[in-house]
Every structure is written in structure tokens, then in C-alpha cells.
Amino acid sequence: MNTVLRARKSAVILMTSAALVLAGCGSSSDSDKVSVDGEEQDQAPVEFQAETDFAGLTSLDSGIEFTATEASESNALLAPGLDLQITEVAQSPHIPADVFEEVSGDSPGLNDDEEPITEVHAADGHVFYLAKFNSSDPGWEVGGDDPDTSVTLHSANDEIDSVFSTRDGTAQQGTIVISLPEESSPDAASLRSETADKKQSLSIITGERLSSDIDYIYEATDKSVELVSADSINESFPAWAGGDDYVEGEVVGAEFANFLQPKGGGQGWAGAGKHYVVVDLEWRKVSSTSFDESTIYVELENGDTIYPARNVNSLSSNPIAFEIPIETEEFQVVLETDIKVGGGANAPRHQWDPLVAEFTVTEGSTS
């Protein structure tokens, strides 16, 4: 990182209301300034300035006063393995020399008195913006390993630095420091995440979410699904080699999800305006000489039928997911049993009345 050493010296003309003539004017020294009450105060000279493109991460205490941001979903980026928030923000005309050196890799050196420079000022017309962030695992069940999420620092639309990747761990924290023009807009600098080709961003300046390719997922972050009632089955049927075989089971619950791992047969992110409902079954696998060809589907309140969002090899291989509209308020999971005993086109089949589980969608967590 290049730096510029600039010595600033200026004369400050003092005028009083009692003598508005040139002869009545005086000048202050380089280290003096006038306060609002007219008294002179010492001001240290600017000994070292950062370049306008100064930016990076620091683990050091800057000694600068921060302001906490509001902990809300509008100030978060969510994805599998990612719950990223900017928790505190600040701005300052200067930073300690050790923070500058950690970020840039360069020392500001010595001043004119051969003493170590202890404070680095922002470039003319700039200030330092600082943001503390942390990220944790939201605990999404995605039906496989979480996809990798990368987080990068941007100045406007230019990528400045890599901040972290969830493949290196989901517990992350740090402090961003970046030089920007005074009174910069919220989108002047941002943290941006990318998960399975979907991008999102947080403002370094305010901590607010600026954009999201999947903004619809935040419409349902406070929704949960509740099981109202569920039919069950416990029936026997003649086995292929004699004796009895059994089919038994029921729907025992469900939960919402926004992402299903493609490696597990899912489709990644749910489509726009939708989310997944992942249904949990307790289902007994029939014997190896019987074939469970039962089917399962969701029926919405408007009568639409939704089939599983990924392949279902057997009902005992749960969970089973369905992609439903976010505005859904209630739905049924319907299971139609169909057991084939033995092979061949004429093998006997056994079917029973459909099993119905009724669900309602509620605001807030049911836990």
C-alpha cells in the first residue's frame, strides 16, 4: 500500500468584532486552533496520510467509539452456513499507526523529530469508515453438506479484498476499515456474499442489507409450520414367502427451508416467492420381497397439488421436500399407500385409504 507523507502548515487569521482592520489581525502557530468559545486549543499537525484507496481488515483495537447497529433481519445476510451481520459502525478522521500497519503492511515511519508516528490521517476529503462484523451458522438443514459461501469487501463495485469463506469455518468475526469520501452514501462500501450463484450485500457504512438476489427468503424468516393432525397406518398383508408383512407409519412434522443441496437431489435455492417445506416421516420399510410404491404429495388450500422437489426412492428415506408459495397459510400432506408383493406384472398389490396430515403456517417460531 503506498502512503503519502505530507506536512501541513498554515496561518490562521484571527479577527475580532471590535477591530476589522488588517493591523488588528494576528496569526496562530501550526499547533493552535480556535475553539467555538474563542479560546485557543492545541492541534497536533498532520504527520502522515493514507492513500485514498486504503482498505482492509484489522484485529486490533482502534480506540475509536463505535455505534451499535440494530439486530434485525434487515441487517443480515442468510445462507447455509452463513448468518452475517455488521454489529457496529464508526467513522474517524484518523486511525492508530498499528492499525494502519496491520492493514497495509507498511509502517508510517518517523516524524520530523525522529519519533515514531502514532496516528495516520485519512486523505484530504476522506474519512475512515469502520465496521465490526460477525457470522455464525444459522443451522439450516440442506440435505447434505453446506455449499461454500465467499464474502468479499467492495468499494462501490470494485472488489477490494477477500474477507472469509465458510469452507474455513462458519464462526467468523473481524473489523473492516476503509477510506472513503466524507458523507459517502451507504452503497459506497459493502460486504458481499455469494452462495450457489446468488449474491447479497451489506453496507459497511450503515450495516443495512443493500441487495439480495434471494430477497424473498426474508419474507418468511419468521414463519414456522405446525402439525395440526395426522392419520397413521399399521396394517398387515400376506408376505411373498408366507406369513405376514407390515406397513406402518405417519407424518410427524415439517419445517421450512430455503435451500436444498443439489448433491442430495435438491434444486439449490427455492424459486422466487417460494420456500421448501421439508416433511418428516416415521415409516417402516417393508421386507425385501415387497415393494413400497406409495406416493406422497402436498395439497394447497386452493386445491393445487405439489409433488416432491427431489426424487423419493422410498418413504423411509426422509426428509421429503416440497416447494410451496411463501404466502401459503395451510396445506395437507397426503400419502397414498401402494404395496406390491413380489415381482411380475400380476404381483398382488395392497392399498388403503389415503393418510392425511394437516398443517398450518404461523408467524414466529413454534419452538
Name the average pLDDT for the chain. Answer: 86
Q: Which pLDDT score, from 0 to 100, does residue 156 have?
A: 95
The closest alpha carbon to 300, from 333, 267, 337, 336, belongs to 333
> How does pLDDT run across 38-55, given as a tens digit for each residue?
444 456 689 999 999 999
Q: How confident is the model at residue 1 (pLDDT cuts 50, 70, 90)?
A: very low
User: Is the predicted pLDDT of residue 36 greater than 50, yes or no?
Assistant: no
DSSP reduced 3-state for 97: helix
Q: How confident is the model at residue 10 (pLDDT cuts 50, 70, 90)?
A: very low
What pTM value is reported for the model? 0.80
Q: Which pLDDT score, from 0 to 100, does residue 311 have?
A: 75
Contact predicate 50/177, CB 8 Å: no
DSSP reduced 3-state for 75: helix
Q: What is the mean pLDDT of residues 182-189?
A: 97
287 Cβ contact list (under 8 Å, min separation 6) = 239, 240, 245
Read off the DSSP letter of residue 307: -
> How does pLDDT run across 281-323, given as a tens digit for each residue?
999 888 888 899 999 999 999 999 999 987 787 787 767 899 9
Q: Which pLDDT score, from 0 to 100, does residue 318 have?
A: 63
- Among 181-190, 250-259, 310-319, the range scoring the smallest mean pLDDT is 310-319
Angle, vertex CA 359, rays to CA 353 and CA 306, nearest 5:
70
Read off the DSSP letter of residue 262: G
Contact predicate 220/275, CB 8 Å: yes
Among 64-78, 186-200, 209-223, the range with the most confident prediction by mean pLDDT is 186-200
Gap between the Cα atoms of 59 and 99, Å rounded: 8
Residue in the block written with cell 496516528: 119
